[in-house]
């Protein structure tokens, strides 16, 4: 069997698939090796109990870049799109947020929210432009880098003096201060705070949470949707695009190491003992796994290895899957509301207090939760008349004090269910099976260090020019022949495809 390739992609996460497809289209002979049985990485649909399936990690689509859709001609079928966010209130007076409008608040709050959303989407558009190109290097004379930098400066200036100042004021700030300056309604403040901190190890008062909020908006202005068949169908579509472009995809083939000989990558060894040759190895794995485990720190230089080992990548979001024999009752919701995105984040302080224990390695006694019922619009996921609930629960620190033992998980599940029960009194009666994935589980199932969605915390010191670390921000590692194409690379996590697409473009343009 021919085992020589132009490029080997380690990991068939959505970014790996996008990258491989684009490389194959440019005439490369590409092999993708995936450890799991299924392609998609954290964007997969799988059965969690007999008859019930769910998007096992990422569960909402809100960042898939139009450039990626266009390049690969994706026509993702959606079960729900442009979902309303319903911020639950115990008394049934919920808020409904959608594209800058909010129902259930004072006239003043509504007006403020409109203005806030307008400004934030404007800022996020500025960021989005940079999400679809490799970040420029600083201190170089490279024409492309200078152009990109110049463009960044120009775009900032084009905001106008006041807006530019506002952008510069906000970009390092925390979301809590901004929402308390603007809004009155606690539910509204809580809802915005939740969007800013979801998937991070940050609380609303942590600096940098405006950036994470903008990052979320930079996908599609915050519009969320659920693909028919779950997130796995996006990955399957990407895998199909890759295969049609000539990519060979091998699943259930974990890579043991990236082979470095004479200071450069020459191929990969699989756990099963197979060897594949390629002078280009592109890792969809997170930077820590790539450098520390697959390559081995001794093949890197000390400063670089130290920076990678110090990457902050400790997840704090758990994933809960419930099999339900019927929809739980939520006061104040109509039937069709179950198709929407439902959140539990009653106040900005609630979110911060949920984060507090996580700083000290404890899980939240009153967690914040993002809930969807994907089966409501998608019969393929659960038996007829039955339902699936998919929820992201924060905070559940990766390095929990005493570790995520079975007892600790059972205890946290109880906490989550009692939180849910405040809004859905009959939830427990409907549960026929459940699955809780802590960051530790997410790490082992999806092979991401620390179980962190973004592979590396999305903060200014690990962002743009320095993502994941100084010396590897342009997809190329300082080890000849090795590249990154996953969430740990610019721009970051979320099912966006941007990192994969940028990596492919950076690789191809380097060859020219």
Partner 1 sequence: MTTVRDPVHQGRLKTPFFPRVEQLDFLNEWHEWKGYSSPNALYCGDLEYFAIRNGTGVFDISPMTKYRITGPDAMEYLNRLVTRDMAKIKAGRVAYAVWCDDQGQVIDDGTIFHLREGEYRLCSQERHFAWLQAATIGFDVSIVHETERVAALAVQGPTSFSILNAMGIKGLDQLKPFGLMHVDFQGVEMMVSRTGFTADLGYELWIEPSKALDLWDALFKAGELYKIRAIGTHALELARIEAGYLAPYTEFLPADETVRTGRSRSPLELGLEWLVDFKKPNFNGRRALAEEKRRGSTWQLVKLDIAGNKPAHSSYIYAKEKGKKKEIGFITSAAWSPVCKQNIALGTVRAPHGKPGDELWVEVYYQREMHWNRTMAKAMVVDKPFWFPPRRGATPPGPY
Residues forming contacts to partner 1 in the complex (CB under 8 A) are 260-264, 292, 296-306, 309, 471, 478
CA distances from 213 to 83, 176, 448 (A): 18, 11, 22
- Whether residue 493 contacts residue 279, with contact meaning beta carbons closer than 8 Å, is answered with no
Q: Which of 343, 394, 415 is nearest to 206 (CA)?
A: 394
CB of 479 to partner 1, least distance (A): 8
CB of 280 to partner 1, least distance (A): 18
- Whether residue 200 contacts residue 314, with contact meaning beta carbons closer than 8 Å, is answered with no
Structure tokens at 227: 């693909």
Structure tokens at 469: 């670390």
CB of 299 to partner 1, least distance (A): 6
Q: Is 173 helix (H, G, I), strand (E, B) or coil?
A: coil
Q: How many helices (H) and strands (E) does the chain have?
A: 16, 20
Structure tokens at 473: 């921000």
CB of 303 to partner 1, least distance (A): 4
- CA dist 112 and 118 (Å) reads 10
Q: Which region holds residue 392: left if phi is over 0, alpha if psi is between -120 and 50, else beta? A: beta
- Whether residue 76 contacts residue 61, with contact meaning beta carbons closer than 8 Å, is answered with yes
- Whether residue 247 contacts residue 240, with contact meaning beta carbons closer than 8 Å, is answered with no
Structure tokens at 429: 């009666």
- Whether residue 122 contacts residue 377, with contact meaning beta carbons closer than 8 Å, is answered with no
* Nearer of residues 262 and 384 to partner 1, judged by Cβ: 262
CA distances from 306 to 97, 275, 297, 301 (A): 43, 29, 9, 9
- Unique residue bearing structure tokens 């068949």: 229
* Nearer of residues 22 and 300 to partner 1, judged by Cβ: 300
CB of 6 to partner 1, least distance (A): 23
459 CB-side CA count, 13 A: 17
* Nearer of residues 332 and 478 to partner 1, judged by Cβ: 478
- Whether residue 396 contacts residue 64, with contact meaning beta carbons closer than 8 Å, is answered with no
480 CB burial (10 A radius; 0-12, 13-18, 19+): middle
CB of 466 to partner 1, least distance (A): 14
197 CB burial (10 A radius; 0-12, 13-18, 19+): buried
Peptide bond just before 395 cis, omega within 30 deg: yes
DSSP state of 353: H
Q: Is 460 helix (H, G, I), strand (E, B) or coil?
A: helix
* Nearer of residues 280 and 300 to partner 1, judged by Cβ: 300
CB of 260 to partner 1, least distance (A): 8
- CA dist 120 and 71 (Å) reads 27
Neighbour tally for 122: CB within 10 Å:
14
């Amino acid at each position: 069997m021919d085992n020589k390739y132009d490029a080997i992609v380690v990991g068939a996460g959505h970014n790996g698939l996008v990258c491989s497809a684009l490389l194959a289209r440019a005439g490369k002979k590409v092999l993708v090796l995936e450890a799991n049985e299924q392609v998609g990485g954290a964007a997969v649909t799988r059965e969690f109990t007999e008859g019930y399936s769910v998007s096992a990690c990422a569960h909402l689509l809100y960042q898939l870049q139009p450039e990626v859709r266009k390049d690969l001609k994706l026509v993702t079928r959606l079960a729900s799109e442009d979902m309303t966010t319903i911020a639950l209130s115990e008394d049934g007076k919920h808020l409904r947020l959608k594209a800058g409008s909010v129902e259930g608040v004072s006239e003043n709050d509504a007006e403020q929210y409109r203005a806030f959303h307008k400004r934030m989407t404007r800022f996020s558009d500025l960021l989005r432009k940079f999400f679809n190109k490799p970040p420029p290097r600083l201190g170089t004379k490279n024409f492309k880098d200078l152009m990109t930098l110049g463009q960044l400066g120009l775009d900032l200036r084009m905001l106008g003096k006041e807006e530019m100042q506002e952008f510069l004021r906000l970009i390092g700030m925390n979301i809590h201060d901004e929402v308390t300056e603007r809004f009155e309604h606690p539910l509204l403040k809580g809802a915005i705070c939740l969007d800013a901190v979801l998937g991070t190890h940050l609380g609303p008062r942590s600096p940098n949470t405006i950036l994470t909020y903008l990052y979320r908006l930079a996908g599609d202005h915050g519009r969320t949707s659920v693909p028919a068949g779950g997130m796995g169908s996006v990955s399957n579509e990407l895998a199909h695009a890759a295969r049609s472009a000539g990519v060979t995809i091998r699943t259930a083939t974990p890579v043991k190491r990236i082979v470095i000989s004479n200071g450069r990558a020459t191929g990969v060894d699989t756990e099963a003992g197979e060897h594949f040759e390629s002078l280009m190895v592109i890792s969809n794995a997170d930077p820590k796994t790539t450098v520390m485990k697959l390559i081995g720190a001794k093949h890197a230089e000390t400063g670089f290895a130290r920076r990678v080992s110090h990457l902050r990548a400790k997840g704090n979001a758990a994933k809960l899957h419930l099999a339900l024999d019927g929809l739980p009752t939520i006061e104040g919701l109509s039937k069709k509301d179950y198709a929407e995105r439902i959140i539990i984040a009653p106040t900005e302080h609630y979110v911060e207090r949920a984060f507090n224990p996580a700083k000290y390695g404890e899980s939240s006694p009153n967690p914040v939760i993002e809930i969807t019922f994907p089966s409501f619009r998608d019969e393929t996921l659960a038996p007829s008349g039955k339902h699936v609930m998919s929820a992201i629960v924060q905070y559940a620190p990766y390095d929990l004090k005493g570790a995520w033992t079975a007892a600790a998980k059972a205890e946290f599940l109880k906490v989550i269910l009692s939180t849910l029960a405040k809004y859905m009194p009959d939830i427990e009666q409907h549960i026929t099976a459940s699955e809780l994935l802590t960051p530790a589980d997410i790490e082992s199932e999806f092979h991401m260090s620390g179980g962190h969605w973004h592979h590396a915390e999305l903060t200014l010191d690990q962002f743009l020019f320095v993502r994941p670390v100084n010396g590897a921000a342009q997809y190329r590692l300082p080890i000849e022949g090795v590249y990154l194409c996953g969430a740990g690379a610019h721009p970051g996590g979320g099912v966006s495809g941007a990192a994969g697409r940028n990596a492919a473009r950076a690789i191809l343009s380097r060859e020219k």
